[in-house]
Amino acid sequence: MNSLNKQRLIKRFSAFLNEEEAVQTGNLDSVYLEFAKKKAVFEEKAHKYPTPFYIFDKKLFNSHVLEFVKTFENYIPNTKVFYAIKSNPHFFLLRSLHKMEIGLDCSSGIEIKHALKNSGQPLLFTGPAKMDSELRLVIKHPDRITLNIDSFAELQRIGELTNIHRKRIKAGVRIYTSIHGSWSKFGIPLEKLLDFFKLSQKYPFIDLQGIQVHISWNFDSEPYINVIEQIGHYLGSHFAKKMINKISYIDLGGGFFPEQTEGNHFSSTNVGTIHQVLFENKKITSKLENDHYFYQTTPVEKYARDIAKGLSEYIHPLFENKPNIYFEPGRIFSTYSMHILLRIRDIKEGRIIITDGGTNMIGWEKFEEDYCPVINLTHPSSKEIKCTIYGSLCTPSDIWGYFCYAKKMEVGDLLLIPNQGAYTYTFAQNFIKEFPKVYKC
């Protein structure tokens, strides 16, 4: 066994033994059944417009947004929601969110300008290494934008800019805690929070009124409870009561994961990698079936209930008036906003399917490891058949999947890849083929 394979095996086997990857086998038959009911709608769009294209599903998108907002408002009445634009910035989404009175979370000057054009709701500006030109947008729109400051150096720069322009802005500060790991790229350490608040008093035009924290890919509520507890303990032991009551919001960020819409192929799990390395090195003689594997995810109601409990225990007792609690959901909204429609253009020996849409539509080789149901709308079936579904790009990594809900596969068949709104359209690019069009459902 060569050294590279040994390293891969040791790393994956260690992760497997430590149960870092809580996956289970299963299927997404329920997703197939949901979208099979909409067959006529998708066929009508594909008859009207040439494939491939994205389709914006306003009804499905809105329903998931409203479910999240209403559930959190029920458990945490002072909830304020800001959609993370980076997960999908298409104006169809932003205008729908505007009508639902949902704020927007921006990570760059480009996103701020896009948000100002397509929404009249409040904005957050969060992210590292902000340019002075971007900070001036905050100063230009102080009634619309709240700035989450990322560092002591950024505090100095925005402080000097506000002194020059003599305009008062609303601001918070991003922090990281002991559980943040690589996410410590963002913000200041929690133990420096008091120093930051004291230093901010040097700048008369900065109204520092909030604390922001974010961890991504949270399959359950535990990370939120952990940071809530750490923030509560720090404020209680370091901040005077008067200073605590100047804090008007605590922003817990996003990272909420949607309930099962995708999974992993066996080969991309820890145990799958171990098995593959053993097979390649002839330590075992057979491959396992390429089943679908899924992470356990948490329903929205449980996220909200658990976070509310954590706030009641660690945060609310510190305040005379409960602070607003901000959330920045992205993936859990945008996942449901868009679907991809393709047609089969060629079929080759070995059940090799070639479609007219390439994975430039999603920007990267996502489905080499990730599993998403592919539905043949022309010949639908509640059972999957095995086949390798490629796109139209000149690269063998241009793969949509290895299974399809279909009775059979024929040239001209219409294929649907559902729930592809999150971090796919955002990454789409003019690589070999042109950028995809988006049509309303």
Known catalytic residues?
Answer: 394
Nearest to 226 by CA among 244, 213, 211: 213
Instruction: Specify whether the CB–CB gap between 389 and 401 falls below 8 A.
Output: yes
DSSP code of residue 50: P
Burial class (CB in 10 A: 0-12, 13-18, 19+), 91: middle
Neighbours of 206 (CB within 10 A): 22
Token pair, residue 425, equals 């359209």
Identify the bridge partners of residue 147 per DSSP, sorted by sequence position: 125, 171
**CA–CA distance, 382 with 407 (Å, rounded to integer):** 9
Identify the bridge partners of residue 415 per DSSP, sorted by sequence position: 342, 376
Instruction: Specify whether the CB–CB gap between 307 and 329 falls below 8 A.
Output: no
**CA–CA distance, 364 with 372 (Å, rounded to integer):** 15
Whole-Å CA distances, 418 to 39, 144, 272: 12, 35, 26
Nearest to 328 by CA among 111, 58, 157: 111
Token pair, residue 385, equals 């058949």
- Would strands 384-390 and 399-405 be described as parallel, antiparallel, or unpaired? antiparallel
**CA–CA distance, 87 with 58 (Å, rounded to integer):** 16
Token pair, residue 85, equals 């634009």
Whole-Å CA distances, 182 to 127, 186, 327: 15, 9, 21
